[in-house]
Amino acid sequence: MKLKSIIALALVGALPLTAGPITVKGSDTMVILAQRWAEAYMSAHPDATIQVTGGGSGTGISALINGTTDICNSSRPMKAPEREKLKQRFSSLGVEIKSAKDGLAVYANEANPVQELTLDQVKDIYTGKITNWKDVGGSDTKIVLYSRENNSGTYVYFRDFVLKGKDFSASAQNLPGTAAVVNAVSKDPNGIGYGGSAYAKGVRFIKIKKDAGSEAKEPNAETVKDGSYPITRYLFMYLRSRPTGALKSYIDWILSPEGQEIVTKVGYFPVK
Amino acid sequence: MKIAFVLAAAIAAVHAQDSTQSPVSPEQVTNLKGQVDGLNESFLETKNTVDKLAKIKVSGYIQAQWQHTDTNGAASVAGGAFPVNSDQRFLVRRGRLKTTYETPTSKYVLQFDVIPTGLSIKDAYVTMMEPWLKMASFTMGVFDRPFGFEISYSSSSRESPERSRVYQTLFPGERDMGAKLELTPGADLGMLQYFNLKGGVFTGMGPTANEIDAEQDIIGRAGFQIPLYDLNLALDGGFSMYSGKVLAVNDTAFSIGDTSFLRTIGNLRKLFDRNVMGIDAQLYYDIPVIGGMSLRGEYLWGEIPGVAGASGPYAAATAPIFDRKVMGWYGMWVQNFGTKLQGILKYDVYDPNTDVKGANVRPIAGPLAGETSPGAAELKYTTLGYGATFYWDENIRFTLYYDQVMNEKANAVAAGGSAAFRSDRKDNVLTFRMQAKF
């Protein structure tokens, strides 16, 4: 009987029944949004503690698989091999929650005369096929490419969706966050970069066309909502299991009108 | 490029400062620009080197354990027989070091097992992925046989300390030398994404032995993976086949008669079938509040030419073949409790000769010429295993596991080496293992 009591106590002790801090790791695209959510929620719920860090979507997903985060923020869907690792470790497929929408913007310096590009032109620029702005209607200057590091969900999404799986040009400079990309492009008249539309301060959106015959669009609430902006994506939260208790309360609040209002204030778009 | 920005900012700062005092000369600006360009070139070269090095991944794990059994020198599949004069031991069960070099269309893998008793190669293979549909790959070298589930489930991930007895006996080392083709359709191929197929041609001699005949073994598995995300439920499974031949290098061979092995001659250079079929199924379900649980099982059956006294695959250079029909299965339940604790329950059955019952393991009265009595190697084993794993952190875990091993009992008049099997042998094993993985 004593042994059964000890085992029962050990099992209870292993369960996350007590309300400890909620850890959030992952996407740098979402880190400011996640911080705003956490601040607003903790302000309204003083007993809650939420710790937010970035590091990139890949870092967040690894932390979810390793059991070192409660919520993983990701600006790209989890890949099948990542789901498989989660399944192996925790016998769970994970829970995917769409928390916001984003128009993945292509930035240019405010002095750059190029106003619009097709998706194919963006692909050719970032794969190194087009290397001079004059080939796309700009001045006769070399295009300077700014990109993200490969643990970034934005990097993976851009490579898979815009570059159609092709490799980035070797001359692309990998920067650690969207803010760094925006900063670089704002200081470089020949620079081009990409990232979440919420970060575009000091740079200009390049309007994107699906193809040469389509209308060029820039990312805003209307074009992202109706899908007419060609590079629209969801921003995800991933959990290991179905949320319960304090974690569920927080997720429910994020998806509520109050949480989605913060999405708009930060510069992204509500999930519905 | 970050260095270039700092310098550019410095230039701007100098320029701004000097604009209130004296203008920066064009020569100074040209000079600084040249330095920035030089640093940029140097950075790009360094980046190229770093990008290449980033393609090399080194990983590995160490499993160190202490074990206790019921009697000195007990035979065991939980890490081999115990020392003759001891019922306990410390053991470095596995010490793996794996290097992988990966590009978008290829992968090169070398894996070693480094333990106190020696170094051995586990994997040495090259995989090429086709770049168009990204669903097919071709592999050559030494790698896991594409059969069943438990073979390719890494020992570092597996919850029970050891694979089931049927796999340890029929597929020692898990690996073989050969070539395989694998098809794993992606999400862009619709319903096909839920199915996968892998198959290849192998020597049939295991990971390190050289080929001894011109016959190749064909091994393959057709599998499915159905994720039901809304239910947090996954159903996986597959059907596997092993079809090969074994060349007899001895004129004598034995096959089971009514109650004994019967000898035949004239078998030199005859080919004996080695065929195994298997079905496997896995269910994963996340139980709210408690944690994810999995139910897994496999069933194997077939015909395996072996040798006297051992039911594993034939690999001897001169011994007569003993032809056997085998069967084995296991069922396993794993339950996660939160992120740190895991409970394990496993039931494992292996029958090395389905034509022989324990009652037939006895000296034959008045044997015919060439008739041989079945021995202890023909007895069925049943193992009930249970335990728990505690995950200290993302790299280290501790496992406490108990194997309750029960053998089929030989006839009460069994003699010689079979006499000890008249009752259940005292060979249960308690394992305490620490695993570090990186």
- pLDDT recorded at residue A17: 43
Å from B304 to nearest chain A CA?
32
Contact B139, B184 (CB under 8 A): no
Q: Distance between CA atoms of B298 and B281, rounded to whole angstroms?
A: 6
Q: Are residues A202 and A175 in the same domain?
A: yes
Q: Is residue A53 part of a domain?
A: yes
Tell me the pLDDT tens digit for each residue of A242-268: 999 999 999 999 999 999 999 999 989
* pTM, full prediction: 0.85
Q: Is residue B133 part of a domain?
A: no
Is A131 within 8 Å of chain B by CB? no
Domain span at A174: 102-232
Contact B369, B390 (CB under 8 A): no
Q: Distance between CA atoms of B18 and B411, rounded to whole angstroms?
A: 103
Tell me the pLDDT tens digit for each residue of A170-187: 889 999 888 899 999 999
Q: Nearest-CA residue of chain B relative to A246?
A: B289
Are the Cβ atoms of B232 and A90 closer than 8 angstroms?
no
Are the Cβ atoms of A14 and B157 closer than 8 angstroms?
no
Provide the number of CB pairs (under 8 Å) joining chain A to chain B. 85
B228: CATH? 2.40.160.10
Chain A neighbors of B289, CB-CB under 8 A: 15, 244
Are the Cβ atoms of B292 and A67 closer than 8 angstroms?
no
Hey, how many other C-beta atoms are within 10 angstroms of the C-beta on B191?
7
**Interface mutation target, options B15, B289, B390, B397, chain A, most CBs of A under 10 Å:** B289
Q: Nearest-CA residue of chain A relative to B194?
A: A80
- pLDDT recorded at residue B366: 65
Are the Cβ atoms of A173 and B1 closer than 8 angstroms?
yes
Are the Cβ atoms of A244 and B229 closer than 8 angstroms?
no
- pLDDT recorded at residue B148: 97
Q: Are residues B13 and B89 in the same domain?
A: no
Q: Are residues B24 and B160 in the same domain?
A: no
Count how many domains chain A has: 2
Chain A neighbors of B286, CB-CB under 8 A: 90-93, 241-242
Q: Is residue B137 part of a domain?
A: no
Q: Distance between CA atoms of A77 and A212, rounded to whole angstroms?
A: 29
Q: Are residues B247 and B220 in the same domain?
A: yes
Domain span at B48: 1-54
- pLDDT recorded at residue A70: 96
Q: Are residues A136 and A87 in the same domain?
A: no
Of A169, A109, A180, A195, give the one whose Cα is nearest residue B6. Answer: A180
Q: Is B148 left (phi over 0), alpha (psi -120 to 50) or beta?
A: left
Q: Are residues A224 and A161 in the same domain?
A: yes
Rounded alpha-carbon distances, angstroms, from residue B137 to A82, B189, B216, B340: 19, 16, 21, 36
Q: Is residue B272 part of a domain?
A: yes
Count how many domains chain B has: 2
Q: Are residues A154 and A260 in the same domain?
A: no
- pLDDT recorded at residue B316: 62
The beta-strand segments (E) located in A95-157 are: 95-108, 116-118, 144-148
Classify residue B165 by burial, with Cβ atoms within 10 Å: 0-12, 13-18, 19+.
buried
Token reading at B372: 């041989």
- pLDDT recorded at residue B18: 47
Least confident of A122-131, A189-198, B149-158, B235-244: A189-198
Q: Distance between CA atoms of B88 and B91, rounded to whole angstroms?
A: 10
**Interface mutation target, options B106, B284, B386, chain A, most CBs of A under 10 Å:** B284
- pLDDT recorded at residue A18: 43
Å from B275 to nearest chain A CA?
30
Is B187 within 8 Å of chain A by CB? yes
Residue type, position A230, single letter: P
Chain B neighbors of A94, CB-CB under 8 A: 232
Q: Is residue B120 part of a domain?
A: no
Percent of chain A with pLDDT over 90: 73
Nearest CB to B284; choose among A10, A87, A96:
A87
Q: Are residues A15 and A85 in the same domain?
A: yes
**Interface mutation target, options A59, A70, A92, A109, chain B, most CBs of B under 10 Å:** A92
The band of A227, judged by pLDDT with boundaries at 50, 70 and 90, is confident
Q: Convert B1-20 to b/e letters by CB count within 10 Å (16 or more is b).
A: beebbebbeebeeeeeeeee
- pLDDT recorded at residue B309: 81
Å from A194 to nearest chain B CA?
17
Token reading at A262: 């913060």
Q: Is residue A271 part of a domain?
A: no
A198: CATH? 3.40.190.10
Q: Are residues B36 and B175 in the same domain?
A: no
Are the Cβ atoms of A187 and B8 closer than 8 angstroms?
yes
Is A3 within 8 Å of chain B by CB? no
Nearest CB to B292; choose among A92, A165, A244:
A92
Q: Are residues B50 and B70 in the same domain?
A: no
CA–CA–CA angle A258, A263, A264 (5° rounding): 95
- pLDDT recorded at residue B364: 80
Q: Is residue A36 part of a domain?
A: yes
Chain A neighbors of B336, CB-CB under 8 A: 90-92
Q: Are residues B267 and B230 in the same domain?
A: yes
Question: If you average pLDDT over every residue of chain A, what do you get?
Answer: 89
Is B359 within 8 Å of chain A by CB? no
The band of A37, judged by pLDDT with boundaries at 50, 70 and 90, is very high
Are the Cβ atoms of B292 and A242 closer than 8 angstroms?
no
Are the Cβ atoms of B288 and A93 closer than 8 angstroms?
no
Please, how many CA atoms are within 13 Å of residue B165, restricted to the half-sphere of its CB?
Answer: 27
**Interface mutation target, options B53, B196, B339, chain A, most CBs of A under 10 Å:** B339
Three-state SS string over chain B comes to CHHHHHHHHHHHHHHHHHHHHCCCCHHHHHHHHHHHHHHHHHHHHHHHHHHHHCCEEEEEEEEEEEEEECCCCCCCCCCCCCCCCCCEEEEEEEEEEEEEEEECCEEEEEEEEEECCEEEEEEEEEEEECCCCCCEEEEEEEEECCCCCCCCCCCCCCCCCCCCHHHHHHCCCCEEEEEEEEECCCHHHHHHHHEEEEEEEECCCCCCCCCCCCCCEEEEEEEEEEEEHHHCEEEEEEEEEEEEEEECCCCCEEEECCCCEEEECCCCCCEEEEEEEEEEEEEEEEECCCEEEEEEEEEEEEEEEEECCECCCCCCCCCCEEEEEEEEEEEEEEEEECCCEEEEEEEEEEECCCCCCHHHCCCCCCCCCCCECCCHHHCCEEEEEEEEEEECCCCEEEEEEEEEEEECCCCCCCCHHHHHHHCCCCCCEEEEEEEEEC
Nearest CB to B284; choose among A15, A92, A242:
A92
Q: Are residues A153 and A72 in the same domain?
A: no
Are the Cβ atoms of A67 and B394 closer than 8 angstroms?
yes
Kindly tell me if the per-residue pLDDT of A10 is higher than 60: no
pLDDT in tens, chain B (438 residues): 444 444 445 555 544 444 455 677 888 888 888 888 888 778 778 877 887 888 899 999 999 999 999 999 999 999 999 999 999 999 999 999 999 999 889 999 999 999 988 999 999 999 999 988 889 999 999 999 999 999 999 999 999 999 999 999 999 889 999 999 999 998 888 899 999 999 999 998 888 877 777 888 999 999 999 999 888 899 999 999 999 998 888 999 999 887 888 899 999 999 999 999 999 999 999 998 899 999 999 999 999 999 888 877 776 668 899 999 999 999 999 999 999 999 999 999 999 999 999 888 888 876 677 788 888 999 999 999 999 999 999 999 999 999 999 999 998 888 888 888 999 999 999 999 999 999
Q: Is residue B290 part of a domain?
A: yes
Q: Are residues A39 and A80 in the same domain?
A: yes
Q: Are residues A228 and A238 in the same domain?
A: no
Q: Are residues A126 and A178 in the same domain?
A: yes
Is A173 within 8 Å of chain B by CB? yes
Chain B neighbors of A80, CB-CB under 8 A: 186-187
